[in-house]
Chains A and B, each alone.
Chain A
């Protein structure tokens, strides 16, 4: 790459030294309505970048710029390239998660400083470093990986029974709560009489709107497809008029002919692929 590059598409480039290899972290000021101007958006971060890593980094290169928190992208350690929020897709009880990490692209993160001053300090220093094209050591802890790291991964899959049951209890209570609220809203709707003078009929089994509408839709489809057709069929006599018989025979013939033509075509195709070589 050309060494004189300092920015790309509005991102500043920070050259870092990753255990002897040059890596490029891109950054810019984070622009978001919530961030009240004290956040930096970081892109192309190396693996295992977390609060600790960044804290170490800024302690060295920008003393005094205290970090409040670091939001890593949810996708960084996920096999997916887009966020799938199943709960909100399966029910309208759950609002789409407002989790910031869901919105960030892979290997990106948002660094928020304790106050504006800290941000200014850090941002200026980063810019300086970028402009100088200096290669800065990245505080990655190479000892934290390897077998112990993977052993931990296995370990973390085993859940603590007490924590788990607390968590389950709490979420089920929350869910019941949410469901109840939604139900009440819904019951209110039931009272409403719409323009045509209809009210919404609500069963007491499925308590969400999606559930009910889903069912109705299915029922309607089913009715349309099976019953109606069956009824129609039994009514109609298929061999009453002569033309019906004739038509049927004609259809049959055409069908046969069509198939014959299709077969011919198929064999022609096979022939083109030189399939008929027995040896």
Chain B
């Protein structure tokens, strides 16, 4: 007994150690009080529970008697529970908190690097102090002293000519570290982190009116040039080898700074810090409060120019640039106070910084003008209010996750453009931040104290994009089913071709309108052009687009110290557009009512000759522009037209986009309107559906021994996903026959044995056939079906409709499944797994496909671009000879991923975007470790996210048809089970679960490892190509070019010209009008079938166990219109093996009892088999 007690005591001791550890990790308990007013509001119940749990903790240490040890043990676990529970409440979930911790650890600056750079900074500080003052130089003296040989003064435009004041240098008033390094929120960054060092220029250099007409900027430019000149020599002398360049702070051309980069030397005396990847920015600030801030309000003019107009335009950028130059260390103090006041402020800043970084945002003009500083300031402001009545949005006790989420939520739901947030940065004075609904229509967070708009570097479009990202992230943060950490913080989502539905490149010629008054408003030509483009596009496209984003290509913001400024930026611009799926392809742009004369005039003025008046069904007469589909998206036509008219004449010839290259890859149906239809048109599919509907009506009306209960569609064409659009009488289309599943009314009389059951079905089909041939214009016959291995008794009823389509009817009874399952039960162990496969085949063909078709059909109606995207994806697979290796359903599910689960991107609204997102997903999908669980719901991205309530409502409403956590976990468990048995994915590769198929393997069961790996590697190669060479017509062509050298042999087959009879407009034919599709069924359908299909099936039967054969499903669509079949010997089969009779493939003996496969003989037999079908057989690799 004594012994036992002893051991328990030691347990407790261990426990104590653990306890303290866990406390360290966690939120301090004293925050608990504030947490009651928790942000999520739903924690109250659980809070009280956890308080219950607290009680044992508060008790006195238990008396050393019998039971206490137990109690103590419980106390320990209570403590641990507290940890676990708290993380679940303060953070989204345990795992989310743990992941945040890891991420923050991962991006932490290395201590050794920090120590090193601190040494550098100290040295630099000393060196700056050594710089001798200089007084009263005139402009002329400066110009003669600073020549382009060494250092040039970085005067901003316009370069000063005659000045009546002198330039001086006195040592800076103050040198301090600002920015994220100063705030200790710096993190590791891709291209190294830059450390901001702010030097405050001394007061005596300035006069009260210096803020006018660049005067203060000229003085600063001199100060900077002089500093640079001295630092060059000083650093050299003092063993601090650095390269000094000029750089514009946050791309602000008014604010040049020095950028110090370490040079690697071999001298051990030298203080090198290149390994730390740090760079140092020396920023020159003005003393705080030196000017009357009211004069620098955004609506004031501070650059006086000669102008005919009465009032000079305001100069908001200029004003803000000067104001923010006075506030570097001021804001540092402000943020520092917040950091001290809120425990998790620092971590939340880091999260915000990473989040912005992954989305391509930072404080630079060219990167949206919203970065770490703006995020931190906003968060500070929200700690002091931010609501409509100044109510607090964030509380000081919040966890990093809550602060981050609260800020994201604020960004997502409050419109800072139509309204604005005002706050006061004055330290010590607690003025509540307040949201005002009346705004300035520019993004604004206004510091009442400094009269500065923190968001002055943002444009309307960058703000709008930021808001969209925030909304999308908020949805992810609210997701309770899936772990969304990766898309929120780990994925870099800053690739234009994935971010935008359409990317335009535009080369802008010299514009004449950029005069002095434009210059003082926009500062740079680039800003002016981008603004002009935005205004025109916004007006022209209206609701058709959700986001417009414009940027200069290859933007430069640093330049050599012997240059005054950056001579020229590129005149190429990239415009990214996110479409509104409901509007973008509409043919009519509606304007104001006829009654609205003023609006009408404006409308006509904008649209010119295109504007017209139209009467609509409801009797209203409206100004309209009617567009015609001209083999390019309507949006593109509008852009070209409006820019030609309002931006620059003939600019449309300088616009390039690849959106059409992708659209044109889709085969054009041989229909009267085929070449002039929108890419989202589904007319051809609808015709097929109509034909199906009338057929099922006819069938249901037949008098049969058993009535028909249902006929359900089960083919790709019937769910809008076949590569070729259905064209009447197009017999050569491999998808010509549309399978349907027929169910009779339930009956107990189905035979209880499979062959007899199939024969009974056949008897019923024969009856239908008889009636159809007698009583209707439908033609019918019966074929054998081998799609379910082992069941050779299945027959299908083939029906040709007068509309020119073909349907194959298979019969499902309630007996089938029972019998297949029974066969598994009765099978021997050897057969069992094969019989399970057979059951899956049956399930697919008879049941799965019906569910799948139903789901996909409804989703294609919702996601308009899904149908063309999945068709292009199938075409891509076929180009690489892979389509035949996958079931179409599997391909459709993969293609669905970017639509139903777009995070971290948005739902694709163009074929290009959708297709590239599929490839991107495949390239990154590690299917060995990750399952793909699809929530097959209709997402919407045009929801008005402005209303926070609406958002939550949307969430709870959708919850009903969304996957529940339980079903999600069930599917995930299925995956784990499979991976436990098959960790290296030999048997099961792609796991795709959904509410239709929780097993996750229904459609991917037949896949093999080499094929799945090939898919991944092809997708990776494609994405690498796109990332390195961009989306151009050349890269697109390469994307669709197969790599044939990877196979052991390739066979070119005899050209069979099937395109026309498959209902496809041949690409080679230039006289499109002269090609006519078939208008009736040929007497013998079979002559028009693609023989290469039968060939490759036969090859698989005969040699499929040792060779992977690949061929195209749509041979006639590619290159010269003929198919190829390639073969790859499965490597594991090539080695010597012991001879067995059931070897299964042709062998040759090599040894006493060993054999290898007889490659030569197999090749010969393949050649014989192909006979006249083979045009050319090439052995690629020598064996």
Q: Which residues of A contact B (CB under 8 A)?
A: 1-2, 5, 8-9, 13, 18-24, 43-44, 46-47, 75-82, 84-87, 89-91, 93-94, 105-108, 140, 142-143, 145-147, 149-151, 153-159, 161, 164-165, 167-169, 171-172, 175, 179, 205-208, 210-211, 214, 250, 253-254, 256-257, 259-260, 263-264, 266-267, 270-271, 273, 275-279
Interface centre among B781, B789, B1098, B1146 (most CB of A within 10 A): B1146
Asked whether A47 and B1102 contact (CB < 8 A) given A150-B1173, A259-B84, A278-B489, the answer is yes
B1173 to chain A, nearest CB (A): 5
CA distance A183 to B819 in the complex (A): 19
Asked whether A82 and B830 contact (CB < 8 A) given A87-B754, A145-B1168, the answer is yes
| Beyond known contacts A79-B1101, A149-B1169: 8 more, CB 8 A cutoff | A24-B1147, A80-B789, A84-B831, A105-B1141, A108-B1141, A150-B1098, A151-B1091, A156-B784
Instruction: Say yes or no: B490 contacts A264, CB within 8 Å.
Output: no
Instruction: Say yes or no: B99 contacts A276, CB within 8 Å.
Output: yes
CA distance A10 to B83 in the complex (A): 73
Instruction: Say yes or no: B102 contacts A44, CB within 8 Å.
Output: no
Instruction: Say yes or no: A263 contacts B98, CB within 8 Å.
Output: yes
Instruction: Say yes or no: B80 contacts A271, CB within 8 Å.
Output: no
Mask of B94-107 contacts with A, CB within 8 angstroms, 1/0: 11001100110111
CA distance A142 to B1171 in the complex (A): 7
28 pairs, CB–CB < 8 Å, chain A vs chain B:
A13-B1149, A22-B1148, A24-B1148, A24-B1158, A47-B1102, A80-B789, A80-B834, A82-B831, A84-B835, A87-B753, A90-B753, A91-B754, A106-B1144, A107-B1145, A143-B1171, A145-B1169, A150-B1094, A150-B1098, A151-B1087, A153-B1098, A154-B1091, A161-B766, A214-B822, A259-B84, A263-B94, A264-B98, A276-B103, A279-B492
CA distance A39 to B102 in the complex (A): 74
Asked whether A106 and B1145 contact (CB < 8 A) given A89-B826, A267-B95, A278-B354, the answer is yes
Instruction: Say yes or no: B1086 contacts A260, CB within 8 Å.
Output: no
B residues near A271, Cβ cutoff 8 Å = 102
A residues near B827, Cβ cutoff 8 Å = 89
Instruction: Say yes or no: B760 contacts A172, CB within 8 Å.
Output: yes
Instruction: Say yes or no: B84 contacts A256, CB within 8 Å.
Output: yes
Mask of B750-780 contacts with A, CB within 8 angstroms, 1/0: 0111111001101100100100000000000
B residues near A205, Cβ cutoff 8 Å = 748
The 4 closest A-B pairs by CB, nearest first: A146-B1171, A91-B753, A105-B1142, A84-B790
Mask of B69-108 contacts with A, CB within 8 angstroms, 1/0: 0000010011011011101100001110011001101110
A residues near B16, Cβ cutoff 8 Å = none
Instruction: Say yes or no: A278 contacts B107, CB within 8 Å.
Output: yes
Interface centre among B106, B1101, B1105, B1141 (most CB of A within 10 A): B1141
Instruction: Say yes or no: B87 contacts A260, CB within 8 Å.
Output: yes
- Kindly report which residue of chain B lies nearest to residue A19, judged by CB atoms: B1164
CA distance A23 to B1168 in the complex (A): 14
Give the size category of B's interface with A.
Answer: 35 or more
B residues near A278, Cβ cutoff 8 Å = 103, 106-107, 354, 357-358, 489-490, 492
Instruction: Say yes or no: B766 contacts A165, CB within 8 Å.
Output: yes
Interface centre among A207, A267, A277 (most CB of B within 10 A): A267
A140 to chain B, nearest CB (A): 7
B residues near A158, Cβ cutoff 8 Å = 781-783, 1086
Instruction: Say yes or no: B87 contacts A89, CB within 8 Å.
Output: no
Q: Which residues of B contact A (CB under 8 A)?
A: 53, 74, 77-78, 80-81, 83-85, 87-88, 93-95, 98-99, 102-103, 105-107, 189-190, 354, 357-358, 486, 489-490, 492, 748, 751-756, 759-760, 762-763, 766, 769, 781-784, 789-791, 795, 818-820, 822-823, 826-827, 830-831, 834-835, 838, 929, 1054, 1086-1087, 1089, 1091, 1094-1095, 1098, 1100-1102, 1104-1105, 1139, 1141-1153, 1155-1156, 1158, 1160-1161, 1163-1165, 1168-1173
A residues near B781, Cβ cutoff 8 Å = 158-159, 161
Instruction: Say yes or no: B822 contacts A90, CB within 8 Å.
Output: yes
- Kindly report which residue of chain A lies nearest to residue B1149, judged by CB atoms: A8
B residues near A206, Cβ cutoff 8 Å = 752
Instruction: Say yes or no: B1102 contacts A154, CB within 8 Å.
Output: no
Instruction: Say yes or no: A23 contacts B1146, CB within 8 Å.
Output: yes
CA distance A140 to B1164 in the complex (A): 12
Interface centre among A89, A90, A165, A175 (most CB of B within 10 A): A90
CA distance A266 to B102 in the complex (A): 12
Contact of A257 among B84, B831, B1160, B1173 (CB under 8 A): B84
Instruction: Say yes or no: B78 contacts A90, CB within 8 Å.
Output: no
A residues near B1149, Cβ cutoff 8 Å = 1, 5, 8, 13, 24
Instruction: Say yes or no: A172 contacts B759, CB within 8 Å.
Output: yes
Instruction: Say yes or no: A2 contacts B1147, CB within 8 Å.
Output: no
Contact of B1141 among A43, A47, A80, A254 (CB under 8 A): A43
B residues near A86, Cβ cutoff 8 Å = 754-755, 790-791, 823, 838
Contact of B1161 among A23, A77, A153 (CB under 8 A): A23
Instruction: Say yes or no: B760 contacts A145, CB within 8 Å.
Output: no
A residues near B751, Cβ cutoff 8 Å = 175, 179
A residues near B95, Cβ cutoff 8 Å = 263, 266-267
CA distance A89 to B107 in the complex (A): 61
CA distance A179 to B233 in the complex (A): 107
Instruction: Say yes or no: B1168 contacts A142, CB within 8 Å.
Output: yes
Instruction: Say yes or no: B762 contacts A168, CB within 8 Å.
Output: yes
Instruction: Say yes or no: A90 contacts B1153, CB within 8 Å.
Output: no
CA distance A265 to B465 in the complex (A): 37
- Kindly report which residue of chain B lies nearest to residue A43, judged by CB atoms: B1141
B1138 to chain A, nearest CB (A): 9
Instruction: Say yes or no: B1160 contacts A21, CB within 8 Å.
Output: yes
Interface centre among B74, B94, B490, B783 (most CB of A within 10 A): B94
CA distance A157 to B769 in the complex (A): 16
Asked whether A175 and B756 contact (CB < 8 A) given A8-B1153, A18-B1161, the answer is yes
A residues near B1164, Cβ cutoff 8 Å = 18-21, 23
Asked whether A154 and B1147 contact (CB < 8 A) given A146-B1173, A175-B751, A278-B354, the answer is no
A257 to chain B, nearest CB (A): 6
B1051 to chain A, nearest CB (A): 13
B residues near A169, Cβ cutoff 8 Å = 763
B727 to chain A, nearest CB (A): 21
CA distance A277 to B105 in the complex (A): 10
Instruction: Say yes or no: A150 contacts B1091, CB within 8 Å.
Output: yes
Instruction: Say yes or no: A107 contacts B1091, CB within 8 Å.
Output: no
Instruction: Say yes or no: B1148 contacts A107, CB within 8 Å.
Output: no
Instruction: Say yes or no: A171 contacts B1141, CB within 8 Å.
Output: no
B324 to chain A, nearest CB (A): 28
- Kindly report which residue of chain B lies nearest to residue A146, judged by CB atoms: B1171
B416 to chain A, nearest CB (A): 26
B81 to chain A, nearest CB (A): 5
Asked whether A157 and B783 contact (CB < 8 A) given A1-B1150, A175-B751, the answer is yes
A residues near B354, Cβ cutoff 8 Å = 278
CA distance A150 to B1101 in the complex (A): 14
CA distance A214 to B1104 in the complex (A): 37
- Kindly report which residue of chain A lies nearest to residue B792, judged by CB atoms: A86
Asked whether A82 and B103 contact (CB < 8 A) given A89-B826, A210-B822, A263-B94, the answer is no
Interface centre among A159, A263, A277 (most CB of B within 10 A): A263
Instruction: Say yes or no: B754 contacts A270, CB within 8 Å.
Output: no
Interface centre among B826, B1087, B1153 (most CB of A within 10 A): B826
CA distance A18 to B1165 in the complex (A): 8
- Kindly report which residue of chain B lies nearest to residue A160, judged by CB atoms: B782
Instruction: Say yes or no: B766 contacts A23, CB within 8 Å.
Output: no
A181 to chain B, nearest CB (A): 13
B residues near A256, Cβ cutoff 8 Å = 81, 84-85, 88
- Kindly report which residue of chain A lies nearest to residue B107, judged by CB atoms: A278
A42 to chain B, nearest CB (A): 11
Instruction: Say yes or no: A146 contacts B87, CB within 8 Å.
Output: no
Contact of A89 among B763, B822, B1146, B1171 (CB under 8 A): B822
- Kindly report which residue of chain B lies nearest to residue A214, judged by CB atoms: B822
CA distance A175 to B749 in the complex (A): 13
